Amino acid sequence: MQDKNTEKQTELQNADRRKFMGKSALLGAGAVAAPMTAAMFTSMAKAQAAEAGKNSPFVHPGELDEYYGFWSGGHSGEVRILGIPSMRELMRIPVFNIDSATGWGITNESKRIRGEGDHFLAGDAHHPHMSMTDGRYNGKYVFINDKANTRVARIRCDVMKTDKILTIPNAQAIHGLRVQKVPYTKYIFCNGEFEIPLNNDGKESLEDVSTYRSLFNVIDAETLEMAFQVMVDGNLDNAEADFDGKYFAASSYNSEMGTNLGEMITSERDHIVFFDLARCEAALKAGNFKTYNGNEVPVLDGRKGSALTRYVPVPKSPHGINISPDGKYFVANGKLSPTVSIIDTSKLDDLFNDKIKPRDTVIAEPELGLGPLHTAFDNRGNAYTTLFLDSQIAKWNIEDAIAHSQGQKVNYLRQKLDVHYQPGHNHTSQGETRDADGKWLVALSKFSKDRYLPVGPLRPENDQLIDISGDVMKLVHDGPTYAEPHDCVLVHRSKLKPSKVWTRDDSFFAETVAMAKRDGVTLETDNKVIRDGNKVRVYMTSIAPNFGLNEFKVKLGDEVTVVVTNLDQVEDVTHGFCMTNHGVQMEISPQATASVTFIANQPGVQWYYCNWFCHALHMEMRGRMLVEA
Ligand code: K7E
Ligand code: CUA
């Protein structure tokens, strides 16, 4: 067994696509008897070339994109906004990272939001998902997980800034994250991927893993506080919600609870865990929970045999779990199996009422190719599954796959399209909502290899845009991106109404406004220096091309807080504040207040300047701080 596992691992680690294709049989996928051969696909593709999509990927200068794409920035820790179909990067939203341009992690406002995790300079963002009402994007929030430091953050879509970050207790490495779709996003939920002792206090051992658990974490979307956690058997990977407001689902690739690779991939089947939301809420209300690690978060017991959960066995180390936009089917992606498992959502009530067995919910297991990771959907009954090892997207028809499994002679595979290379997630325009429109598909390819000019040993990844509006998928754009777009969502622009300037009563800087009030300062009019022991607060306005204060004095060793209020009303006239030689800079957008605190530890004259280009006299927008020895 060990040898076989090592062999599988070698295959997984080998990134060369050609080798994979040649040795595919070694992957344990024995019979990769795809219903159509490559040659058949080629001739079909030629015959149907006329039926390729007619979407135009060209967004001419001055034109606007049709969709906002929210991209995870992976281990850069940020979220990015792309325009689709142009694939232009429109904005970066710092979340778990430190950002030199905006001062994220430097300003007092961002430090408050970063909270107890402020000392972390890194993060690993995976799954951005927008809040919904009745299964449709509502344009309010985007949520994102931090696998590295077990956190979840929320981005406000009116100002496109992170406004809350929660550290999840009792769990480790938050991975899959999704939102409740129906009736609205009351909860978001996410998975603790790594199994740890429930009371993780250093008294446990590396040998005895019997107390190790993974937790399913349910968070109140509005307060971004923990609602409850559910203890499960096996670990948890990705997650998904139904369109009925009843069930959440999570995949488990390590049902074995192994602690090394060999142990983790021994079982032929792992499972999808389903969570009954009403039963979880009832258990919570009835007080049927325990707490751990000295915190108050209720932990429900959802291990096998519990009324709260059901475990549906599926092959093999499944990864993504995705629901079709008509709400009928969950698709579990086999990863180490060349199949996906189609789970009929209409059977879940019977499953939870013990009228049927878990496997009875799996109505088809179509074979697609090697390494299925994630599936996306159009509005015409088709699914698009990434094949990591084959470096392809498989387009297949769900009803035909079900008919095929019932013995009918139908081809459910519609097309396999080469992507470059090794795709992880893919996502269709609005495809995780009722508004799936079948226009665009983005494949997030983990390797770019030969697709771009070489830039040294570290290469960009490759986000590819595919037109799926016709019968034939058509690759229309290569987009290099920096580490690492695990996932993205494509939201029609009609769903979003971002603010053009800040409003003065915004909660983002409310605490700074309150501090000014305590100092008797009116931020919109006053330019003042207030001394409070060895703390000095410097209040100034900015209006292009001037700071309200041209100079101020402090004493060596003072703790200086500079508060800048941007009085400009004009869209896009953002100022910056940089104190030279202090590692201090920040952005102050129109009508915003921002503040930064530093120690004046160098005697003499220090210039401060505006570092966001704002005016023809931007270079002259500067002033002096004298630090008196
Ligand atoms: Cu990269 Cu969704 Cu974190 Cu799959 S996950 S590939
Ligand atoms: Cu103000 Cu540049």
* pLDDT tens digits, 304-326: 999 999 999 999 999 999 999 99
Confidence of residue 4 (pLDDT cuts 50, 70, 90): very low
Nearest CA to ligand 1 atom 5: 486
Structural tokens at position 24: 């595919």
Average pLDDT on 38-42 reads 58
Average pLDDT on 2-8 reads 44
Least distant ligand from the CA of 588: 2
Instruction: Give CA–CA dist 271/312, Å, rounded.
Output: 5
The count of other CB atoms within 10 Å of the CB of residue 363 is 16
Least distant ligand from the CA of 320: 1
CA 175 / ligand 1 centre spacing (Å): 8
Find out whether 181 and 198 touch, Cβ atoms under 8 Å. no
Residue 305 burial (CB < 10 Å; 0-12/13-18/19+)? exposed
For residues 145-162, one letter each, b for 16 or more C-beta atoms within 10 angstroms of the residue's C-beta and e for the rest, the string is: bbbbbbbbbbbbbbbbbb
Condensed to tens digits (0 to 9), the pLDDT of residues 85-99 reads 999 999 999 999 999
**Structural element, H or E, at residue 110:** helix 108-114
CA 74 / ligand 1 centre spacing (Å): 10
Condensed to tens digits (0 to 9), the pLDDT of residues 473-489 reads 999 999 999 999 999 99
Instruction: Give CA–CA dist 510/142, Å, rounded.
Output: 22
Torsion angle (degrees, nearest 10) of CA 220, 223, 228, 232: 60
Atom of ligand 1 nearest to the CA of 147: 3
Find the residues whose C-beta lies inside 6 A of ligand 1.
Answer: 126-127, 175, 238, 319-320, 373-374, 424-425, 486-487
Condensed to tens digits (0 to 9), the pLDDT of residues 442-461 reads 999 999 999 999 999 999 99
Instruction: Give CA–CA dist 271/334, Å, rounded.
Output: 10
Q: Mean pLDDT over all residues of the chain?
A: 93
Average pLDDT on 567-572 reads 95
Least-confidence region, from 3-7, 23-27, 183-187, 508-512: 23-27
Residue 515 has pLDDT above 80, yes or no: yes
The count of other CB atoms within 10 Å of the CB of residue 299 is 24
From residue 259, give the alpha-carbon distance in Å to each of 1, 174, 266, 368: 16, 18, 12, 30
Residue 424 has pLDDT above 70, yes or no: yes
Backbone angles phi, psi at 556, to 5 degrees: -55, 130
Least distant ligand from the CA of 573: 2
Nearest CA to ligand 2 atom 1: 575
Strand partners, 250: 239, 273
DSSP, collapsed to helix, strand or coil, labels residue 165 as: strand
| Residues 6 or more apart in contact with residue 510 via CB below 8 angstroms | none
Condensed to tens digits (0 to 9), the pLDDT of residues 265-299 reads 889 999 999 999 999 999 999 999 999 999 999 99
pLDDT for 20 equals 40
Instruction: Judge if the beta carbon of residue 617 lies within 6 A of ligand 2.
Output: no
Confidence of residue 205 (pLDDT cuts 50, 70, 90): confident
Query: What percent of the chain lies above the pLDDT cut of 90?
Result: 87
Residue 432 has pLDDT above 90, yes or no: yes
Least-confidence region, from 5-14, 263-272, 538-547: 5-14
pTM, full prediction? 0.92
User: In three state form, how does the secondary structure of 4-49 look?
Assistant: HHHHHHHHHHCCCHHHHHHCHHHHCCCCCCCCCCHHHHHHHHHHCH
Detail the DSSP E strand segments found in 544-583.
546-547, 551-555, 559-566, 575-579
pLDDT for 36 equals 56
